[in-house]
């Protein structure tokens, strides 16, 4: 026998052993696989639940909870410390074919999402890429989080791809409507936040909190206050909700990211505003979208079991009060249920999560219409996908900072222009229940009411049905679908799809003149917050959250001049909340008080370079204030409306950037002259008392707000609703309760230390509300929406003058 490495010496006594060893070596991998398969076949529930370990799953697989523990056990009184393994199913769930919990998204975004236990712990390594761990372990918690997030991301991207095909895939004709979805969304990673990694922390060290951080692009899932082992990440609906916030962010900035814009739009800017409420409702809907079969409730375990804060998504939920129903006349409607917490219905609470329920319930109802055999007969998956198409289209348009709203539109279709788009989204034309409902309705019509592309059981989803459904939720707040957008020259051109007024039975629109100061005898004009401790705390919170910027260098940061005397004094940072009253017989909602600069001054020194400093106040806003004798601008030679930039009857087209136009601060000052007083600009007053420009609140570079300056970011206030024949305080507090205000109810003003005591100011605030009859539409153009530039002026608003005298 030829001798070689593998030749056998006949004289050796262990050829069988050697052969056996070689055979074993060769067969070992096969044996392992066989063992695994055998293990799979014999995976069983022991008395301790499913045996969830590497031996019982294939590579890339693991097990996650199919729903939250309350649902899986059917026990609403489930106590903490239970054995999670008892809730696992035998079937395996695909997790990831990798050693780490990191996901790759479409368009090869490597590591688009990853999960760790918390911020301090690196990713744990599953060397065999198997993800089966004991149910009560930290590893399981991370795998559970990853599994649910991964499914949601896949679903979101699948829907986006389908929507892209539905629009841009209509080759060679292109989209059948002006879709907000960018044509090149995927190559430019507009379907994600670029190539960012959504880092998720399954066991964050926060109590009774879950958080989405857009700046860091992280999700933090905390735990219960009382029970350490009750983790938010055990509740899939909470995971879906938090990703829902990320989804909102991506949708709002889809166009901004595709175009590479730096700044981003947010869905909500104040502690309470309607945009934030819509965001919460959408995040709740994300949970409904992902649970199967559809489960219209969120947070039974993490929010509901120990905190009584779970939320229903449909009116027939047992948690709801009697009287709510899925019949059209019994819906969770706006604004009636804005302050409604189903867990404590007797207590009105102004909170975005409760207000958001109106949106979540509406979207569920819309989905169920699409599923109903009476309408479209779709499966749940298809119906929720279609609703998501409409949501994404709406957010992508409303959040567009490029002001295009679509690849095929002209700049200004939405949000005025790119320079001022964020000002529109934040202040001048923020997303509210009206604009969101209008956008959703427009997109429902475009996609589901297209006779050329029948998508509803071979037919279309009727416009009247849509309007009646919206109306049943009090959301038929718009008069036309505004397909022509808001651009200066094109906003009134083209067909105008009008709402059928006979469909508006429940939604009530109120004339803006019925919003006023409380007319009752002895009622005050405003509430003042100027106590040092309170205002300092408010400013600390507002600046730490990024809502407001820096104080003027003229205001000492420690606020030593804040004296709590409920008067406006020099050197103070003062919070004011106007005592507004609803003089109608219906609820008024989404009241916004704007204190930002606007176009209400006629400038005299336009021959000089900007900033203009000399001018007179316009009195062309219906209230004839101030009088000509009180210093108002002369408009006798002006046409109305005027086409001449600079006139009072002309509204700036680009928020004050064009020649002869410039915005002015809301506050002006009473100036004493030889024989009379007049109302004049702050700059004029500065000159009259010979104050150096460097002593102005904005410094010498801008003396227009020399003495009273609104704190940017806190230059608007929102009231959720005002009851009929009542003021806001009476609407938000129970009888006998002290009226307290949240951050979003308060406008903060910086008061210059240089103001001579006894000086009187008037601040001309612009106000409006979401269910306003005459704030949004131009009856001269068949009820078409006002063009965007008009929101630089005063016509679309109700003006409220707030006068005060500065005392020492």
Partner 1 sequence: MKKILFLSFIIMLLGGIITLQDQIDSLISDSQIIEEDSWTTYEKKEDKLVQSPSTSKELKKIGAEQTKKKSLIPKRSLSSVQMKPKNYKTYQGRRIIGHIKKDMNDINFINKVEKTWKDKLSEKLLQHRDRQAKLFIKSENSVIKIQNGSARYLEQVNITFLFKGDDSNSFKAFVDSETGEILNTWNRSIHDKVNVKAIKFTPDGTL
Contacts (CB under 8 A) with partner 1, residues 11-40: 14, 17-18, 21-22, 25
CA dihedral 248, 254, 257, 260 (to 10 degrees): -150
Query: Can you list the alpha helix ranges (DSSP code H) found in 553-712?
Result: 682-688
Name which of 264 and 783 has its Cβ closer to partner 1.
264
Contacts of 81 (CB under 8 A, 6+ apart): 227, 229
Alpha-carbon gap, residue 623 to 642, rounded angstroms: 19
Decide: is 215 part of the binding site for partner 1 (CB under 8 A): yes
Q: DSSP string covering 744-773, please?
A: GG-EEEEE-TTPPTT-EEEEEEEEE-TTBS
Q: Is residue 741 within the footprint of partner 1 (CB under 8 A)?
A: yes
* Strand-pair partners of 131: 62
Could you tell me the smallest distance in angstroms from the CB atom of residue 440 to partner 1? 21
With tokens 């795998």, the residue in question is: 143
Q: Which stretch binds partner 1 (CB under 8 A): 47-55, 118-126, 322-330, 499-507?
A: 118-126
The answer to whether 188 contacts partner 1 (rule: CB under 8 A) is yes
* Four-residue CA torsion sign, 378, 384, 387, 393: negative
Backbone angles phi, psi at 572, to 5 degrees: -90, 160
- Of 76, 79, 154, 184, the residue at the interface with partner 1 (CB under 8 A) is 184
**By C-beta, is 661 or 785 nearer to partner 1?**
661
Task: Give the rounded distance of the alpha carbon of 628 from its chain centre.
Answer: 44
- Residue 275 interacts with partner 1 (CB under 8 A)? no
Sole binder of partner 1 in the list 37, 79, 125, 165 (CB under 8 A):
125
544-to-7, 536, 539, 550 alpha-carbon distances in Å: 78, 12, 8, 11
Residues in the chain: 808
Residue 383 Cβ, how far from partner 1 at the closest point, in Å?
26
What kind and span of H or E run contains 163?
Answer: helix 138-168
145 in contact with partner 1 (CB under 8 A): no
**DSSP code per residue over 523-574:** --SEEEE--HHHHHHHHHHHHHTTSS-PPPTTS-TT-TT---SSS--TT-EE
**CA-to-CA dists, residue 9 to 21, 23, 744, angstroms:** 16, 18, 91
Distance CA 705, CA 751 (A): 10
**Residue 201 touches partner 1, criterion: CB under 8 A:** yes
The yes or no reply on residue 139 touching partner 1 (CB under 8 A) is no
Q: Which is nearer to partner 1, 370 or 804 (CB)?
A: 804
Which residue in the set 570, 713, 793, 794 belongs to the binding site for partner 1 (CB under 8 A)? 713
Q: Pick one of 549, 641, 756, 758: the residue that binds partner 1 (CB under 8 A).
A: 549
Residue 265 makes contact with partner 1 by CB under 8 A:
yes
Instruction: For partner 1, give the closer residue by CB, 579 or 730.
Output: 579
* Cα 610 to the center of its chain, rounded Å: 36
- Residue 746 interacting with partner 1 (CB under 8 A): yes
- Terminal Cα-to-Cα distance of the chain (whole angstroms): 115
- Contact map string, positions 346 to 375, toward partner 1, x by CB under 8 A: ----xx-x----------------------
Q: How far is the CB of 356 from partner 1 (least distance, A)?
A: 11
Q: Does 716 bind partner 1 (CB under 8 A)?
A: no
Neighbours of 772 (CB within 10 A): 26
Is the separation of the CB atoms in 69 and 234 below 8 Å?
yes
Task: Give the residue from 757, 761, 605, 624 showing the smallest Cα distance to 681.
Answer: 761
Residue span 296-325 as binding mask against partner 1, x where in contact by CB under 8 A, dash where not? ------xx---xxx----------------
Q: Is 74 in the site for partner 1 (CB under 8 A)?
A: no
Nearer to partner 1, 64 or 117 (CB): 117
- Give the Å distances, CA to CA, from 74 to 68, 302, 355, 436: 10, 15, 29, 37
Is 156 among the residues that bind partner 1 (CB under 8 A)?
no
HSE-CB for 73 with a 13 A CA cutoff: 20
Q: How far apart are CA 398 and CA 430, in angstroms?
A: 9
Before 554, cis peptide (omega within 30)?
no
Residue among 223 and 361 whose Cβ is closer to partner 1:
223
**C-alpha–C-alpha distance, residues 679 and 681, integer Å:** 7
Separation in Å, CA 396 to CA 236, 261, 320, 595, 767: 27, 14, 33, 27, 27
Comparison of 228 and 540: residue with beta carbon closer to partner 1: 540
Q: Using the rule CB under 8 A, give the single segment among 62-70, 138-146, 427-435, 540-548 that binds partner 1.
A: 540-548
- Give the tokens for residue 387: 């609703």
C-alpha of 716 from chain center: 17
Instruction: Tell which positions 591-630 bind partner 1, by CB under 8 A.
Output: 609-611
What residues between 416 and 435 interact with partner 1 by CB under 8 A?
A: 419, 422
Residue with smaller CB distance to partner 1, 127 or 629:
127
Candidate residues 79, 550, 644, 677; the one interacting with partner 1 per rule CB under 8 A: 550
**Comparison of 370 and 741: residue with beta carbon closer to partner 1:** 741
Subset of residues 496 to 525 that bind partner 1, contact rule: CB under 8 A: 524-525
Q: Which is nearer to partner 1, 221 or 772 (CB)?
A: 221
Q: What residues contact 403, with CB distance under 8 A and at least 6 apart?
A: 411, 412, 413, 414, 415, 416, 417, 418, 421
| Nearer CB in complex with partner 1: 25/629 | 25
User: Is the Cβ of residue 552 or residue 767 nearer to partner 1 in the bound state?
Assistant: 552
Strand partners, 219: 200, 212
Within 13 A of 478's CA, how many CA atoms are on the CB side? 24
| Contact pattern from residue 552 through residue 591 relative to partner 1, giving x for each residue in contact according to CB under 8 A and a dash for the rest | -----xx-----xxxxx------xxx-x------------
CB 758 within 8 A of CB 585: no
Query: Token pair of 611, please?
Result: 């900033």
Q: Contact at 8 Å (CB) between 392 and 181?
A: yes
Do residues 209 and 190 make contact, with C-beta atoms less than 8 angstroms apart?
no
Closest approach of partner 1 to the CB of residue 102, in Å: 9
Q: Which position among 154, 158, 205, 228 is part of the footprint of partner 1 (CB under 8 A)? A: 205
- For residue 719, state whether it binds partner 1 (rule: CB under 8 A): no
| Binder among 264, 381, 614, 783 for partner 1 (CB under 8 A) | 264
Q: Where are the alpha helices (DSSP H) in 312-379?
A: 352-355, 357-371
Name which position in 66, 161, 176, 208 contacts partner 1 (CB under 8 A): 208
In the complex with partner 1, the residue whose CB is nearer, 440 or 526, is 526
Cβ 407 to partner 1, closest distance in Å?
10
Tell the smallest beta-carbon distance from residue 359 to partner 1 (Å): 16
Instruction: Among 59, 137, 500, 545, indicate the residue that binds partner 1 (CB under 8 A).
Output: 545
Of residues 577 and 620, the one with the C-beta less far from partner 1? 577
Q: How far is the CB of 152 from partner 1 (least distance, A)?
A: 16
Our finding on whether 60 is near partner 1 (CB under 8 A) is: no
Minimum CB separation of residue 334 from partner 1 in Å reads: 21
Q: How many residues bind partner 1 (CB under 8 A)?
A: 118
Longest dimension (CA), the chain: 132
Binding flag, residue 223, partner 1 (CB under 8 A): no
**Residue selected from 526, 595, 618, 751 as contacting partner 1 according to rule CB under 8 A:** 526
Structure token pair of residue 56: 């019982």
Among 32-40, 66-74, 180-188, 490-498, which window interacts with partner 1 (CB under 8 A)?
180-188
- Quote the CA–CA distance of 275 and 139 in Å, as a whole number: 37
Q: Rounded to the nearest whole angstrom, what is the least distance from the CB of residue 612 to partner 1 in the complex? A: 11
650-679 mask for partner 1 (x: CB under 8 A)?
A: ------xx----------------------
Query: Pick from 60, 454, 531, 693: which binds partner 1 (CB under 8 A)?
Result: 531
């Amino acid at each position: 026998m030829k001798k070689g490495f593998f030749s056998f010496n006949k004289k050796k006594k262990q050829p069988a052993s050697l052969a056996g060893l070689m055979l074993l070596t060769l067969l070992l991998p096969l044996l392992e696989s066989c063992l695994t398969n055998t293990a799979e076949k014999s995976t069983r529930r022991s008395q301790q639940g499913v045996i969830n370990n590497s031996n019982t799953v294939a590579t890339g697989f693991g097990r996650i909870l199919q729903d939250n523990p309350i649902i899986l056990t059917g026990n609403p009184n489930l106590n903490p410390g239970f054995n999670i393994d008892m809730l696992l199913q035998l079937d395996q769930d695909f997790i990831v074919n990798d050693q780490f919990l990191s996901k790759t998204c479409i368009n090869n975004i490597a590591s688009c999402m990853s999960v760790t236990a918390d911020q301090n712990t690196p990713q744990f390594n599953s060397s065999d890429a198997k993800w089966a761990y004991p149910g009560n372990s930290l590893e399981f918690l991370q795998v559970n989080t990853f599994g649910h997030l991964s499914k949601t991301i896949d679903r979101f991207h699948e829907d986006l791809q389908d929507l892209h095909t539905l629009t841009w895939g209509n080759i060679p004709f292109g989209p059948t409507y002006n879709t907000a979805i960018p044509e090149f969304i995927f190559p430019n990673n507009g379907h994600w936040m670029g190539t960012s990694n959504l880092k998720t922390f399954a066991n964050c060290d926060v109590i009774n909190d879950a958080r989405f951080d857009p700046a860091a692009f992280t999700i933090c899932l905390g735990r219960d206050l009382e029970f350490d082992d009750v983790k938010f990440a055990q509740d899939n609906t909470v995971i879906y909700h938090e990703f829902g916030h990320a989804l909102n962010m991506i949708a709002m900035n889809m166009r901004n990211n595709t175009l590479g814009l730096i700044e981003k739009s947010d869905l909500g800017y104040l502690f309470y505003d309607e945009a934030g409420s819509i965001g919460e409702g959408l995040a709740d809907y994300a949970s409904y979208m992902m649970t199967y079969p559809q489960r219209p409730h969120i947070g039974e375990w993490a929010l509901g079991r120990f905190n009584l804060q779970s939320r229903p998504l449909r009116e027939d939920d047992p948690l709801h009060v009697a009287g709510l129903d899925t019949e059209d006349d019994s819906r969770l409607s706006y604004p009636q249920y804005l302050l409604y917490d189903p867990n404590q219905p007797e207590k009105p609470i102004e909170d975005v999560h409760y207000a958001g329920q109106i949106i979540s319930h509406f979207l569920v109802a819309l989905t169920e219409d699409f599923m109903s055999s009476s309408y479209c007969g779709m499966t749940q998956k298809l119906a929720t996908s279609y609703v998501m198409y409409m949501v994404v289209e709406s957010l992508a348009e409303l959040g567009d900072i490029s002001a295009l709203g679509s690849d095929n539109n002209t700049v200004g279709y939405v949000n005025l222009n790119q320079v001022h788009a964020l000002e529109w989204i934040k202040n001048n034309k923020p997303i509210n229940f009206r604009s969101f409902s209008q956008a959703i309705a427009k997109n429902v019509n475009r996609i589901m009411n297209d006779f050329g592309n029948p998508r509803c059981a071979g037919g279309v989803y009727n416009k009247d049905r849509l309007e009646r459904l919206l109306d049943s939720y009090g959301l038929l707040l718009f008069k036309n679908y505004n397909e022509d957008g808001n651009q200066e020259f094109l906003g009134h051109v083209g067909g105008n799809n009008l709402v059928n007024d006979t469909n508006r039975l429940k939604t009530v629109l109120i004339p803006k003149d019925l919003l006023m100061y409380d007319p009752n005898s002895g009622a005050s004009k405003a509430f003042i917050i100027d106590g040092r401790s309170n205002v300092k705390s408010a400013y600390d919170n507002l600046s730490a959250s990024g809502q407001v910027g820096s104080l003027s260098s003229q205001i000492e940061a420690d606020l030593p001049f804040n004296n709590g005397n409920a008067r406006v004094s020099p050197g103070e940072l003062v919070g004011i909340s106007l005592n507004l009253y609803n003089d109608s017989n219906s609820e008024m909602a989404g009241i916004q008080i704007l204190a930002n600069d606007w176009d209400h001054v006629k400038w005299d020194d336009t021959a000089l370079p900007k900033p203009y400093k000399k001018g007179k106040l316009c009195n062309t806003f219906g209230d004839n204030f101030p009088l000509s004798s009180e210093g108002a601008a002369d408009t006798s030679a002006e046409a109305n409306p005027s086409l001449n930039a600079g006139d009072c009857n002309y509204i700036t087209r680009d928020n004050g950037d064009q020649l002869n136009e410039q915005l002015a601060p809301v506050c002006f000052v009473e100036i004493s002259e030889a024989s009379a007083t007049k109302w004049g600009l702050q700059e004029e007053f500065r000159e009259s008392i010979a104050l150096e420009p460097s002593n102005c609140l904005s410094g010498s570079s801008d003396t227009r707000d020399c003495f009273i300056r609104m704190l940017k970011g806190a230059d608007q206030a929102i009231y959720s609703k005002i009851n009929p024949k009542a003021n806001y305080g009476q609407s938000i507090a129970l009888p006998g309760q002290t009226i307290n205000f949240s951050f979003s109810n308060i406008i903060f003003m910086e008061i210059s230390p240089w103001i001579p005591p006894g000086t009187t100011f008037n601040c001309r605030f612009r106000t409006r509300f979401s269910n306003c009859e005459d704030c949004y539409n131009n009856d001269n153009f068949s009820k078409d929406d006002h063009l965007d530039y008009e929101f630089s002026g005063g016509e679309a608003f109700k003006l409220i003058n707030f006068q005060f005298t500065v005392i020492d």
